[in-house]
Structure 1
């Protein structure tokens, strides 16, 4: 629906991909693990490791990433849709910015070009390795 809306209203459409997104999330609870292959000899036998950040393969990682991205957008003034928690909007007198999230991909559109550019720059400053593509 958002893509159709953007095309019909002739809005710019940007796609951003956050590389290693799941590694950028913060864990809310303590998580422990046995040493991964190759590190067993670096850890005292019988000891386990406490994770400080989310990692791939951890079931909490997708949620931790979503929470970090969501809070980043909410802190920037975006509103999260009650009907679709992957849809965020920022309205002003100048227009609207619409953000749609799918895992580590972010679609940005709207008619407020200044805020779109500012949002893209902000996201690139907040997350490591963000690839930006004009669609």
Structure 2
């Protein structure tokens, strides 16, 4: 199992943004679901601050996959969350909870994450928080 990816997700579940940032290269490319690619740790940190303000999430049922050579990895997991504050363009937040399958893909170089891509079904999330 890839230690960098495990450390990254352990930091995520602990709410430790600095721990997540320590796993990233300075020029990390962050491909978000339904959004633009963000470049660099500063943009990643700003994204995390926004997400932590609007959502409280914990990832479970984690399965991490490694490609030979340690330059690629992927993870499949369940996002267990609470919608805390209304996010622009999305339904109103009222403390709704959700459970959503998701996946992330990674490129690595020198033990650091150089690319993060995360996918989930936004329509499923909207349905859950709108119920």
- Is this a same-fold pair by TM over 0.5? no
**TM-score of the two chains, using structure 2 as the length reference:** 0.26
Q: Which structure has the larger Rg over C-alpha atoms?
A: 1
Q: Larger relative contact order (C-alpha < 8 A, sep ≥ 6)?
A: 1
**TM-score of the two chains, using structure 1 as the length reference:** 0.26
